Amino acid sequence: MAKVLSSKEENYAQWYNDLVLKSGLAENSAVRGCMVIKPYGYAIWEKMRDELDRMFKETGHENAYFPLFIPKSFFSKEASHVKGFAKECAVVTHYRLKTDEVNGGIMVDPDAKLEEELIVRPTSETIIWNTYKNWVQSYRDLPIMINQWANVVRWEMRTRLFLRTTEFLWQEGHTAHATRQEAEEETLQMVKVYAEFSEKFLGIPVLVGNKTESEKFAGAVETLTIEALMQDGKALQGGTSHFLGQNFAKAFDVQFTNKEGKLDYVWATSWGMTTRMIGALIMAHSDNHGLILPPNVAPIQVVIVPIYRGNEEFPLIAEAANKIKAELKALGVSVKFDDRDTQKPGWKFAEYELKGVPVRLAIGPRDIENGTVELARRDTLQKKVMPQDGIAKYIHQLLVEIQQSIYQKALDFRKASTHRVDSWDELVDVLDNKGGFALAHWDGTKESEDKIKETKATIRCVPLDAEPEEGTCVVSGKPSKQRVVIAKAY
């Protein structure tokens, strides 16, 4: 297989696009800004979805489904929410087509105009809170702990596969609580679920923190975020969890009788993570040879490639390969025996390297004689010959080691790319030359934040675990009590 990727050192954006296309994750569709997620890419999403779904259910959440279409009037009920999404909304105005008798072809039937226009959901707070009004009368009906797996549409002008598309897949949690404390605890719990998922399952280290007032979700009182660092030194927002206060409950008149017998408005949260995390997975770990997938999320964890010249050599090789395959499957390992005779072994090696399969085994006639197998690790590209006996148990443990090694490499990169800066010049130097996270003092004002945005960077978060530290704002020189994380971002 010829070299198929651009160099990430020379052209990171082209490298990323090449990798998504050539590894068979996704491709552009006939609909501008939308993508086709191909089977290999969707298999990664299924693994992510299944693990998140398990974590959600462990924390007491249930899945439900709400309509794709939202009456336009619903958006006008929460002013900051509609303001935040107005420019991204796709609007349905008619419900029928007809033949154009004059010009030929098909036209929208002008007589089929909707009485009320419908928004294709960019997010579901409004339709869900209109529904919750019918579900809640008393504190006994609370909490409501709902998650939805769905697609959403946000009309993007500049799109990139997985990172920013007009339509994307996600999950969105929407919970209702009797007290502010319960809702705030839920908001914190779910951002921690996202952080654990990102670090332990995807191998991506993240910072957890609060968004600033200008960066928080439209309609939220507070937004918590996980922020990851990609290999080009840019940040990527992974998942967000929002404390919505009583804003949506008041907008949709969702009241309940509390334990004291008084009417009160429900307290709300929402939280979401999207297929953008596949983009994060690619950019956090992969190299110029192709994908590097942590074993937890890899659709194929082990591939076995037979090496033989004539059909007479194949049966014994296949017997050994299938024995190892059965032993691995018994240990819960996802394994593929690639016995296709349409491609040479070298071509297969390059293909599985490109697709990021964590472990590759090769078995040839000499291995049959010696009872050995060649093992190659995708993350380090190291190869070694090992005995077939006990290889399944060895690989089972090796996959754990590879998972941790991939995470540690990303963590070491983040540590090396995190810079404490104490002046405006130092901040600009990081943003323009070094890349990565800049830890800087900020006075908390919109004016200073706007000045930072002029560099095309943003305050990614105010870290939750940051120690209080007296200092001066790198923009204004005014007093500051804590450093914030500043970076250019996707």
Tens of pLDDT, residue by residue over 216-228, are 999 999 999 999 9
What's the gap between Cα 154 and its chain centre?
A: 16
What's the gap between Cα 198 and its chain centre?
A: 8
**Measured distance CA(312)–CA(144) in Å, rounded:** 64
Q: Is the pLDDT of residue 338 over 60?
A: yes
Nearest to 19 by CA among 1, 33, 5: 5
Choosing from 370, 398, 426, the residue where a domain stops is: 398
Domain annotation covers residue 291: no
Choosing from 250, 285, 320, the residue where a domain stops is: 285
- Does residue 39 sit in the same domain as residue 179? yes
Nearest to 215 by CA among 439, 431, 420, 457: 457
Q: Is the pLDDT of residue 249 over 60?
A: yes
CATH number, position 456: 3.30.110.30
Domain annotation covers residue 78: no
Q: Nearest 5°: phi and psi at 200? A: -85, -30
**Measured distance CA(278)–CA(228) in Å, rounded:** 13
Average pLDDT, the chain: 97
Nearest to 170 by CA among 145, 192, 149, 155: 149
Domain annotation covers residue 93: no
- Does residue 445 sit in the same domain as residue 311? no
| 275 contacts 238 by C-beta, under 8 angstroms | no
- Does residue 66 sit in the same domain as residue 206? yes
Q: Of the given ranges (100-114, 195-209, 404-418), which has the lowest mean pLDDT?
A: 100-114
137: helix, strand or coil = coil
- Does residue 261 sit in the same domain as residue 336? no
- Does residue 466 sit in the same domain as residue 320? no
Q: Is the pLDDT of residue 111 over 70?
A: yes
The encoded tokens of residue 286 equal 């992969």
The encoded tokens of residue 54 equal 């398990």
Q: Is the pLDDT of residue 76 over 60?
A: yes
Instruction: Encode pLDDT of 372-395 as tens digits.
Output: 999 999 999 999 999 999 999 999
- Does residue 381 sit in the same domain as residue 424? no
- Does residue 190 sit in the same domain as residue 252? yes
Q: Which residues contact 153 (CB under 8 A, 6 or more apart)?
A: 90, 120, 121, 122, 166, 167
- Does residue 49 sit in the same domain as residue 160? yes
Domain annotation covers residue 326: yes
- Does residue 331 sit in the same domain as residue 373? yes
- Domain, as residue range, for 193: 12-71+120-285
Question: Based on the structure, what is the number of domains in the chain?
Answer: 3
Give the pLDDT band (50/70/90) at residue 2.
low
- Does residue 267 sit in the same domain as residue 329? no
Per-residue confidence (pLDDT) for residue 3, from 0 to 100: 64
- Does residue 43 sit in the same domain as residue 177? yes
State the alpha helices, DSSP H only, in 331-364: 345-354
pTM of the model: 0.96
Domain annotation covers residue 259: yes
